[in-house]
Each structure stands twice: as C-alpha cells, then as structure tokens.
Amino acid sequence: AMIVKNKLHADVLAWEVEMPDLNIDAENLDYELQDGSLFGSLPTRFENKDSILLKKIKNSLNINYIKEKVPNYKEIDIKIFKDIPGFKLFPHLDAPHHKAFLMFNLTNNIDSTTFHNTQKEFLCKGPNKKNMGVFHLLRTKPEILHAIENTSNKNRYTAIAFIK
C-alpha cells in the first residue's frame, strides 16, 4: 500500500509518498491528446484512459490517509499522463473544486513537481523516481503554487489522483 514519508518543506503542505509497484508499462500504453490541453500552444500532454488501470491506481491509494487530510472530499479522479519534452505548466493553483492531489512517477523521470510561493519563488520539489511522488493539500495558507516542466529529451510518465 501507499506509504507517506517526509514533509517536503516547512511551509508547504506536501509529503513524499511511495506507491506500490503496479507493473504499469507506461511507455507502451495508448495515449490521446488531453482534452483542453492545447492552451494555445503545441500539444505536449497526452492521457491514457484505460479504466482498468485507473481503477488499479485508485485501489492502491491509502483512502484512510486521504480522508484524514481531506475529510470533505467527494471524489478521486485518476489520470495517467505522458508529458513530452517541452511540456510546461507555469506555477499555478488548481481549479477551485480540487482539494488535494497525489502525483507519482510511473517511470524514473528527470523532472518533478516544483512548489513555489505566491511570488513564484522556488521552495522545494517532489521526487522524480519510479513509484515515488507527492501528496499536496491545496487551498492552504500561505498559498502555495505548483509547476512542472519536462526539460529532458524523454517523455515523462506520471499518474495523478485529483482529490475533489
């Protein structure tokens, strides 16, 4: 099962997590362009929508831990992403109905989620190794932004549980 480890930074409500190895061959899945991911630029984020894999990921989450941290959550929406080289999400807040997210790496990746203060100054980053990731509570004080950029020449494969 999912193991929660160290808090990443004193000012950031984000913890390192270790996920069980689910034997997901992320590099050989089918991906389609993420809905609405163009943002007026080149398509750089792709999504796999295999319901069996999504359920497998959801079943591996520590629901008791999530309930403890986010008692009022309504649903957990799992996504599997392939971010191609050049993918970039600038420091941002997620949609208002998102209460937390849990991101973990499906492969060893070069880059990981970075966390920033409201002045967009870098505070810390999550792990980039396979089966490692980060659980982050949103809408906290002080407000924390997060970002990701694939600076490598390889695709980045992650799974994200959006807790709403």
Residue with tokens 């070069």: 110
Query: Which tokens is 46 given?
Result: 């792709």
**What are phi and psi for residue 76, nearest 5 degrees?**
-125, 120
Residue with tokens 């190794």: 129
One digit per residue, the tens of pLDDT, for the chain of length 164 reads 799 999 999 999 999 999 999 999 999 999 999 876 555 566 789 999 999 999 999 999 999 999 999 999 999 999 999 999 999 999 999 989 999 999 999 999 999 999 999 999 999 999 999 999 999 999 888 899 999 999 999 999 999 999 99
Query: Which tokens is 19 given?
Result: 């996920």
Give the global pTM.
Answer: 0.94
**pLDDT for the residue numbered 39:** 56
